Amino acid sequence: MSDTKVHLEKIDDFRWRIPKGYKPGMKVEGIIYADEKILKDVHEDKALEQVANVAFLPGIVKYSLAMPDIHWGYGFPIGGVAATDIEAGGVVSPGGVGFDINCGVRLVKTDLRYEEIKDKIKELVYALFSDVPTGVGSKGDIRVSAKEEKEILIKGSKWAVEKGYGTLEDLECTEENGAISGADPAAVSERAYERGKAQSGTLGSGNHFLEVQVIDQLYDRDICDELGLDMGQIMLMIHSGSRGFGYQICDDYVRQMMPCLQKYNIHVPDRQLVSAPVNSPEAKEYLGAMRCAANYAWNNRQCLMHLARNVFERIFGMGWQKMGMHLIYDVAHNIAKIEKYVVDGREKSLCVHRKGATRAFPPGHPALPQKYKKIGQPVIIPGDMGRNSYLLVGTEKAAETFYSTCHGAGRVKSRTAATKTIRLDVLLKELESKGIIVKATGRGTIVEEAPQAYKDVNDVVDVVHNAGISKRVCRMRPLGVIKG
């Protein structure tokens, strides 16, 4: 398959190659995970061109990768993965992380059954909408002092747990135990502090959501049994990030790093790929600030889960522990991490950029908590508010993607295009006919986030499952969703 710009070579039914010779200066080839159906959408924007551009980065190892939810982004495509060899002058690029640093997802199980609570779903969704702050610039009830703000940037979701907004078990079930080391509050601008100071425990806008779901399909009975999951069980999914705080950090460092292209003799075809060698002072400063934003986001999702647990307690008249409201996992999908991999027979420290891509560690990986050593890392893939979401687990085969997989459905229509082509009244009737309750701060958000604006997540998950880079465990369908 090809288009006028980027010629793709078919490797197999689920992988396609952009040859290294496509553009002079590519250091590695591009590999895209997709099937024929998904490729039709991929060719609609410049995302494939961006995959080729990422292949120019100094120190890039093996491939410039793209997951099946790929679409056009800032510098990197969303759905892009790239690892750089630190020892060989590998770089970190803010565009390879994105503006919503540590945008991510957490999945909470309950012991509630759909048949038992179906008559209370509307009341539950309205109460969640009332108690969880949503929308652009939304400010929450969880107030923090300037001193506590800096504590959050170091402690991440441990701060929330210490305040009584969760348990140690929650930390165990969060990537990096809810706090990545190396955060440097001194590397954060006053403007970023200003934007983030009242946003802990707030959902935000755009594609962020809190969704009540029900399990409607089991794929791996053994893993479901291990996790205590079954058909008809009520689940809660939370999708949010570092809010204006993380956005400002990315904005600051994209500008601050521009001189690095000349200083370090970095040649890239797009200035949005501004970057600096990981061992340089500029990169260390960015990574220190980025980790602050990552910890801010983990704390934010912990606070959001606490608010949601409180609502469930009020609506159903029992404690969250009695309802079995335990965190399955919380995983980032916009982050750069230093991880060790064997490359050409040698163990190397790589800077792995995952932008709109989810970490997917296999069974036995040392970074996993003991409870997941047997089954592998839970991978949470949200769909859109009219279709399904998924729980998967990481696999050993995902070593070929630096243990990375997709992060969601992936847009096929921009927010502007969705607003022009989708009618709100028709959309709301369609969702209502499926029994889905939607509450949003702005009616425009509902249209921008319509199912028609996204690829079908079922197709996306089919690709990563069939390619072997993650394995389906169960599927959930939405019952009610709140958005900004």
DSSP helix, strand, coil percent of the chain (3-state; round to 5): 40, 25, 35
Q: 15 CB contacts (<8 Å, ≥6 apart)?
A: 31, 32, 33, 34, 467
DSSP 363-386: TT-TTS-GGGTTT--EEEE---TT
Q: Where are the alpha helices (DSSP H) in 46-92?
A: 47-54
CA distance 8 to 51: 12
Tokens representing residue 232 in the block = 């008809």
Catalytic pick from 208, 239, 407, 465? 407
pLDDT at 5: 66
Whether the per-residue pLDDT at 135 is higher than 80: the answer is no
Q: At what angle do helices 281-316 and 121-131 cross, to 10 degrees?
A: 130
pLDDT at 104: 96
The answer on pLDDT for 436 being more than 50 is: yes
On average, the pLDDT of the chain sits at 92
In the predicted structure, residue 139 carries a pLDDT above the cut 80: no
pLDDT beyond 70 at 138 = no
**How does DSSP assign 287-339, residue by residue?**
HHHHHHHHHHHHHHHHHHHHHHHHHHHHHHTS-TTTTT--EEEEEESEEEEEE
**CA-based torsion, 12, 13, 14, 17: positive or negative:** positive
Q: What is the DSSP letter of 130?
A: H
Task: Say whether pLDDT at 325 is over 90.
Answer: yes
7-15 long-range contacts, Cβ below 8 Å, gap at least 24? 8/32, 8/39, 8/48, 13/466, 14/463, 14/466, 14/467, 15/467
Q: How far is residue 21's CA from residue 27's CA, in Å, rounded to a whole number?
A: 9
41 CB-contact burial (10 Å; exposed 0-12 / middle 13-18 / buried 19+): buried
Q: What is the pLDDT of residue 40?
A: 86
Q: Determine the pLDDT at residue 414.
A: 74
Bridge partners for 60 per DSSP:
84
State the Cα–Cα distance between residues 319 and 325, nearest whole angstrom: 9
Q: Are 132 and 203 in contact (CB under 8 A)?
A: yes
Give the tens place of pLDDT for each residue, 44-67.
Answer: 789 999 999 999 999 999 999 999
pLDDT score at 201: 79
The number of helix segments (H) and strand segments (E) in the chain equals 16, 19
For the residues 276-295, what does the mean pLDDT come to? 98
pLDDT score recorded for residue 148: 83
Q: What is the pLDDT of residue 42?
A: 83
Tens-digit pLDDT profile for residues 439-473: 887 767 787 777 777 778 999 999 999 999 999 99
Show the tokens assigned to 431. Answer: 């969702």
**Is pLDDT at 431 greater than 90 in this prediction?**
no
Q: Does domain 9-483 have CATH number 3.90.1860.10?
A: yes
Crossing angle for the helix pair 281-316 and 243-256, nearest 10 degrees? 170
* Burial of 467: CB neighbours in 10 Å, binned 0-12, 13-18, 19+: buried
Percentage above 70 pLDDT, the chain: 96
Instruction: Flag whether pLDDT at 1 surpasses 50.
Output: no
- Give the strand pairing for 276-277 and 91-92: antiparallel
- Average pLDDT on 218-227 reads 98
2: pLDDT strictly greater than 50: no
Alpha carbons 351 and 286: distance in angstroms, whole number: 13
Q: What is the pLDDT of residue 424?
A: 79
Q: Would you state the pLDDT for residue 45?
A: 87
> Which runs of consecutive H residues, i.e. helices, occur in 358-456?
415-421, 424-433, 443-448
81 neighbors 401 (Cβ within 8 angstroms): yes
| Predicted pLDDT at 213 | 97
Q: Has residue 3 got a pLDDT over 60?
A: no
- Is 208 marked active-site? no
Sign of the Cα torsion 452, 455, 457, 459 reads: positive
Angstrom distance (rounded) from CA 70 to CA 355: 10
Weakest mean pLDDT among 1-10, 24-33, 89-98, 256-265: 1-10
